[in-house]
Structure formats: structure tokens, C-alpha cells
Structure 1
């Protein structure tokens, strides 16, 4: 899809949004319904891009989800506000800060240290995520020398009643 087609669709979409919100409160479902029922030809021209956008949104939502549908055992991260995949900072070959998504069950102690170090670079306001990662770090600390991952360390802490 060309930039012209994309701009054209955005203008069209803006018009549909404006038109529907004049008559009543704004509703995403109503806008989607109008496009699907009254303007399928417009959607047909950009369906690949719309599908790619939708898939990216689904992947992001899945990575942020807290509960895994494929987890067979106990979820050691269940009561923490930590997504199934966690952004872990690292330096690329040129020394530039990058972010990798890792399964929370495969986080290493070095990963946890890097995540917490990035928060130390920020303002002092503590977020819920920061509190959870600090608690994870505290609970996992006694097992640094025996566990391969944070997930294993949390299992050991749970087993030991910590």
C-alpha cells in the first residue's frame, strides 16, 4: 500500500469517526461495523495492512498478558504484575541500548539486574512493575548460585516458604 492510499484511508476513517460521533457517543464497535457493512471495498484495498496491524496488536497484547494458557505447571509469577514476555535491555555490537523480549520463566539473574538498573536511571517514582521486580529480586536472591533462571529461583523460594 502506498503512502497516498494510507493517508486516504486515514482521512476516510476520520470522516466515519466524525460522522458517527455527531449522532451519538463515540463507539469503536460502531465505527468498525459501519466500515465492514457499508464500505467493504475500502477495506478490501488495505486488508493486508489491516491484518498486519491487527496481528501486531494481538502479539503485543499476548506478550503483556499475565497468565499463560500453555503453562503446564504452577505459575511462579502468577501474583506479580509481569507479562509472559519481559523487555530485557542489552547493548548491541555498537554499544547501543536495545531491548529483547524474553519469556519470564527464562529470565536470568543478569537480566533482572539490567531491568532494575534501567529503572535506577529513571525518576524515583516507583511503579507497580518496579515494586514487583524488586520483590522478585529479593525472593530470588538466596538462590542465585543454585538456580539457572529467575523462574527456578522463585520455585525454590516457594518450596522453602519464602
Structure 2
């Protein structure tokens, strides 16, 4: 398995304020994308069209429809770029809708996920690589001592 960076709990927690700010912007941008999409549907006046059909209709439609399509495209590009920027930090984004992120860590020599969700004050959970969010376990004082690089 190819992994990027292995994080200590302290390193992951040091990134939480920046990550929280970045993900907050991403979640707000997701709302903007949804708003732009609804405005595009209204401008084209074809709610039954598939997304590809709707974009094509907008590009060949009124100035308003073309403007809405351009705005939507810009918002989507910014949204995708924002998640890429987060992943370039060495963070693995697991669920964009809720801002769920994992960091590779080591517990007793084995790789684990240090797990953080937008809104949490710190990285306070971990789980095995195959376990998902439902398998999160709290990082107790004993586990904290075992989380070593």
C-alpha cells in the first residue's frame, strides 16, 4: 500500500484550525454550487433535462442562461480545486458533504486512520484502515501514548 504522510496526533491536531477554515469554505461553496445549479435550471426552463443536456442548452441559450452556466462552471472548478488543496496537505478526504477527513497514523506499529470531522475541536478518534466512520474509537490517554510515528 502506498501511503503519503504518516501523522502524529500532535501534527494532525496542529492542522485542525487551518483545515477547519478550509473545509468551512468548501461547505459554503457547495451551497453556492447548488444555488447556481437551481438558477441555471430556472434560466433554461427545462427541469427534466439531464445535467449534460442542461449545460448544453444553457451554452446555446439566452445570455442569462450562458451567464448562469459560466458561474456554475467557475464555482465547480473552485470547489474541486479546494478539495485538491486539502488533499495536497496529506489529508485524505473521506466525505466532502460532512467534511470527514482522515490522516494516516501508526498505533502499535500498524497503520490506522486518525479521524476528524468538520466541527470537531481536535482529532479525537481513530479506526482501522478497513473500518469506516462507524468504526471510530476514541483516542484515550493510553492510545495517545501508543500513537507514534
- Larger-Rg structure: 1
TM class by shorter chain equals: 0.3 to 0.5
Q: Scaled by the length of structure 1, what TM-score is found?
A: 0.32
Say which structure is richer in helix.
1
Q: Scaled by the length of structure 2, what TM-score is found?
A: 0.34
